[in-house]
Amino acid sequence: MTTPSHPASAAAAGGINSLSDTDRTRNPNSESSTLQSYQHLFRPGFVHRRLYVDEQIFHDELRYLYGRTWLYIAHESELPQPNDFITRRVGGRPLIITRSAEGKIHALFNRCTHRAAIVCREPRGNAKGFICGYHAWTFNNEGHCTSVPLRQGYGKTFTLASTNLQHVARLDSYRGFIFASYSADVPSLSEHLGAAARLIDQWLDRGEKEPVVVRSGSMPFLVHANWKTIYDNAGDGYHPPFSHESMLKMFARRYGDVDMNYYGSDFDKSPMYSKNLGNGHTFLDQRPEMHKLSAWKRQHVMPGYEAMEKALIERFGETRALAMLDTATGSGMNLNIFPNLLIIGNQIQMPEPLAANKTQLTWFATTREGAPEEINAIRMRMQEDFPSFGEVDDSANFEACQEGMAYVPEMEWIDIRRHHDTEVGTPDPADHLWREPMSSDLHMRTYWQRWQELMNAGATQALKARGESS
């Protein structure tokens, strides 16, 4: 596991020293390799384009990275009732996530133990069990096989228990966020989350602390780009005034001095910052600007907002109503939890890798259970805002980067140098975690270090296993 460190050592850090020199020094553009070493794909402040475009590396990521760390799979509020289930792909693997009649959460591979067919083909529902559509093997929502048609054909030694659906190796949750690992050989979830847990607490405990509900609507995007391009952007505090210029200008023209205008000047001099939380997790904090005045008062207008504000003031008094409205606005937090949980504003994003150049990015809106109806209505209007006006800018950039990386092999390196050697980083006096100005590429240097640790360990293990079996 990594501990937060000075980023100068991060991107350059290799790790797989057990592989041959020939392998380490081979042409980084070579797409044919049997021995996997990744060290030659990193230079201080740069990463190689193949890390984003090479299908073999993508395949290795599914095995060595997604197969060997904790992954966010769902939020408990998506399964509110006994026997609720959802299906989704996480780290490439199709899963059924269920809540049993007793209320216990299970995560099962959605893969029939017979001929491997996807057992449950519905996105969500409520069911005590699942019947595979191919030969009707039947499983309850805890994964036990309960019947096999014409069972006598399998002979006397056959048992139903031997054909249960397979559970993921590890399952745990942190304050409603459910995580799974496909390998048993991982540290505890709390060790994995480390300093990120405290930021999850801050995100959950805003305002009046009503429980967060994630089954509030979701918006899937199919993006023709590598999953890491999306991960890069979620922690990128450099791009907003440039990528989202048209959106910001439109807001300013129509509504005047509103949210995000603090990007108008040299925002590296602002108190906003980027922080290394360790284990590949990072945090971009816009709260020092966004919440220094009333975040609600700085929001642009939206349909019905005056009537909703008035109704809340009448019911709760001005001070409490305005405090509640402040917390209905975006959280001002971009929390990247490596590799597949992005908490942005009031929303949760899950990037699901489909191919080296294809990712499904799903935005989940959130509401607060028990909060006044007006607060949740305002939350929803705001959560519709950015995906509609801003995400299109980001998606265009994801695909533009992918195109440049894929089609110009003459230019091999991707620049992640911002604030790499400006020596303006400093440990945060509050928690001693390393932080740099808002526009830093710290987040990329940080997760690439974790990427290398996982990938190199996975490759080393695979080589060892191959050696032992040959």
Q: Is 385 in the site for Fe ion (CB under 5 A)?
A: no
Cβ proximity of 120 and 96 under 8 Å: yes
The binder of 394, among Fe ion, ligand FES, none, by C-beta within 5 to 8 A per type, is Fe ion
Q: Is 112 in the site for ligand FES (CB under 6 A)?
A: yes
- Cα distance between residue 467 and residue 461, in whole Å: 10
CB-nearer residue toward ligand FES: 53 or 96: 96
Cβ proximity of 375 and 325 under 8 Å: yes
Stretch that binds Fe ion, among 303-311, 325-333, 335-343, 386-394 (CB under 5 A): 386-394
CB-nearer residue toward ligand FES: 71 or 148: 148
Q: Is 132 in the site for ligand FES (CB under 6 A)?
A: yes
CB-nearer residue toward ligand FES: 117 or 160: 117
Residue 351 in 3-state DSSP?
A: strand
Neighbours of 276 (CB within 10 A): 31
Can you tell me which of 62, 117, 313, 433 binds ligand FES, judged by CB under 6 A? 117
Please name the helix (run of DSSP H) or strand (run of DSSP E) that holds residue 109, with its range, or none. Answer: strand 105-109
Instruction: Name residue 68's amino acid.
Output: R
Stretch that binds ligand FES, among 133-141, 301-309, 333-341, 411-419 (CB under 6 A): 133-141
Residue with tokens 């799974």: 180
H helices within 261-335, ranges in order?
287-290, 305-316, 318-328
Can you tell me which of 104, 135, 320, 464 binds ligand FES, judged by CB under 6 A? 135
- Cα distance between residue 382 and residue 376, in whole Å: 10
Can you tell me which of 394, 436, 441, 453 binds Fe ion, judged by CB under 5 A? 394
- Preceding amide of 94 cis, omega within 30: no
Can you tell me which of 114, 167, 175, 300 binds ligand FES, judged by CB under 6 A? 114
The binder of 134, among ligand FES, Fe ion, none, by C-beta within 5 to 8 A per type, is ligand FES
Residue 427 in 3-state DSSP?
A: strand
Question: Rule CB under 6 A: which of 380-439 touch ligand FES?
Answer: none
CB-nearer residue toward Fe ion: 232 or 394: 394
Residue with tokens 């592989």: 19
- Cα distance between residue 226 and residue 398, in whole Å: 8
Joined together, the tokens standing for residue 429 give 């006096």
Q: Spell out, one character per residue from 344 to 383, where the chain touches Fe ion: x when CB under 5 A holds, - when not.
A: ----------------------------------------
Give strand pairing partners of 46: 43, 415
The binder of 6, among ligand FES, Fe ion, none, by C-beta within 5 to 8 A per type, is none
Joined together, the tokens standing for residue 234 give 């979620």
- Cα distance between residue 36 and residue 214, in whole Å: 39
Joined together, the tokens standing for residue 292 give 């220094």
Q: Smallest distance, Å, CB 243 to Fe ion?
A: 5
Can you tell me which of 52, 137, 182, 231 binds ligand FES, judged by CB under 6 A? 137
Stretch that binds ligand FES, among 9-17, 87-95, 131-139, 461-469 (CB under 6 A): 131-139
The binder of 297, among ligand FES, Fe ion, none, by C-beta within 5 to 8 A per type, is none
Q: Is 134 in the site for ligand FES (CB under 6 A)?
A: yes
C-alpha pair distances (Å), 285 with each of 262, 273, 290, 391: 13, 5, 9, 19
Binding positions for ligand FES, rule: CB under 6 A: 112, 114-115, 117, 132, 134-135, 137
